[in-house]
Each structure stands twice: as C-alpha cells, then as structure tokens.
Copies of this chain bind each other. A is one copy, B any other.
Amino acid sequence: MPYDPSAFPPFAVTVDLVVLTVRRHALCALAVRRGEPPFQGRWALPGGFVRADEDLTTAAARELAEETGLHAHDPAGSVVPNAAHLEQLATYGDPKRDPRMRVVSVAHLALAPDLPAPRAGGDARSVRWAPVEELLDQETGYGRDGEQAVPLAFDHARILADGVERARSKIEYSSLATAFCPQEFTVGELRRVYEAVWGVALDPRNFHRKVTGTPGFLVPTGGTTTRQGGRPAQLFRAGGATLLNPPMLRPEA
C-alpha cells in the first residue's frame, strides 16, 4: 500500500438534503436561505456537518428533523405519524465545490406528504417550499420573479436535479409515490402525485385499473372521502409491497 495512514488529507463531511413534496399539483423542494458567506442570501439545500460519532443516515435524519420536524421512516421501525421516506442519494466531492475548504457532501433524498407548515428552527422567511421547476430554471436564468432568479448555492442545483430524477424514476417501479400521500388517500390523490412528479397527465381509468390491480400496492381502509369534490372516493393505505411488477409506465417514452 503506497500511502501513509497517518498522513491522509483531512476532509469535512456534510449531509445535504433534497426534501420533496407535492403541493398544489407541483413538485416542490425545501430550500433555505443562506445567512452567511459564501453565497450569502442565496437559496440552498438544507444540510450540515456530520458529527464525529454519527452515522451518515443518522446525520441526515437529524438534519431533516431540525429543518422540518419530520421523522425519518425507519424501515424496520414503528409507525410514526408524518414519517418521511429517507434514502441516500449520492456523494459530491469536487475539490472546488466549497471555496472555504475541502468538503465532501453525502446527499440524501427525502419524500414527505404535503404538511401544513414546513417551518424551520429559525425565522420563517429563511426556509420555504419552492417548485423544483422554479429552482432549476434559475440555473438557466429563467426564474419566475426577480428576487429568486438566482442559482442555488454551491452545486446544489445539480444535487437537486439528481434527486428529482431519482424520485421520478423510482416511483415507476416502487410504491414510493405513497410517501407523498397522507396515511389515507384516494386513487385520484395518488394519481395527482404521479402527474405532479412526472409533469404529465394520466388517464384516470387506466391508472385506477393499474394501481388497484397490483397486489399489495393499496389496501382499502373501508372509508370514503369527498374532499376532492365529485363522487366519493374509496380511501386506501399503502400496502406492504415496495416493488411494482410490472412497473408503472411513464408516458412519452
């Protein structure tokens, strides 16, 4: 081995979070405003340093709770209300990605239902849900309103784009879309999740046939709701199945 173990270069290790939800028929990500240089005043993904005795997943779950109050959905754990799906996304370590020092960031992806107030520990104006389209359009200079027509800090646009792409592809072959829904939801609400994440319109009849016909995907709870207007719809919970086989097909292939 041609290296000296006592002379390894020191790194800072952080976790950054791509927290996605569906609000008002649009896929939104959590953004925080930076209060200090570099990129002061710019929007960024939430994140922070990994502590000395902390696992990466633990650090991500801690940051998620600090920023949103959401608890990570423990894969083997108990049923927590408002639990979010949390998984590792990818790691970004370009030597110049942080001008201050060498920082390696382990990005994580979190999917959460649309919660009332996404508020953070600090002041309310420093954190918000922003449509991902808007956050990513900033990269190409086409922001909506003047104030936010600024790219995300660091390489966070790239990280966000990777997270969105992961979510888009993963709801194809897994039941992960239910992570965007409340505990009980209707087929129509689930369909609107797919439509918002993929940015397409789906046929309600074929979608209904597909999701109700996939064993283990949806479990009827017996109740109905009319919160979407129209004819009352059956309520469902997410079933035990995590992999969809055959998958949902994204149109416009």
Contact = CB atoms under 8 A, between A and B. Distances in A.
Interface of A: 1, 3, 5, 8-13, 35-36, 48-56, 88, 90-95, 100, 102, 104, 106, 245, 253
A9 B50 contact: yes
A197 to B, nearest CB: 18
Given A48-B1, A50-B9, A106 B91 contact: yes
B13 A52 contact: no
A13 B97 CA distance: 16
A50 B93 contact: yes
A95 to B, nearest CB: 5
A106 B36 CA distance: 29
Nearest to A93: B56
Given A56-B93, A88-B91, A11 B9 contact: no
B13 A100 contact: no
Contact of A53 (B8, B36, B54, B95): B95
A197 B102 CA distance: 38
A11 B51 CA distance: 10
Nearest to A3: B49
B13 A93 contact: yes
B56 A104 contact: yes
Given A48-B3, A90-B88, A253-B245, A95 B55 contact: yes
Contact of A9 (B49, B88, B93): B49
Contacts of A48: 1, 3
Contact of A8 (B1, B49, B56): B49
A55 B102 CA distance: 10
Contacts of A52: 9, 95, 102
A236 to B, nearest CB: 24
Contacts of A95: 52-55
Nearest to A9: B52
A17 B245 CA distance: 31
Contacts of A11: 10-13, 50, 104
Contacts of A36: 1
Contacts of A90: 88
B93 A55 contact: yes
A71 to B, nearest CB: 19
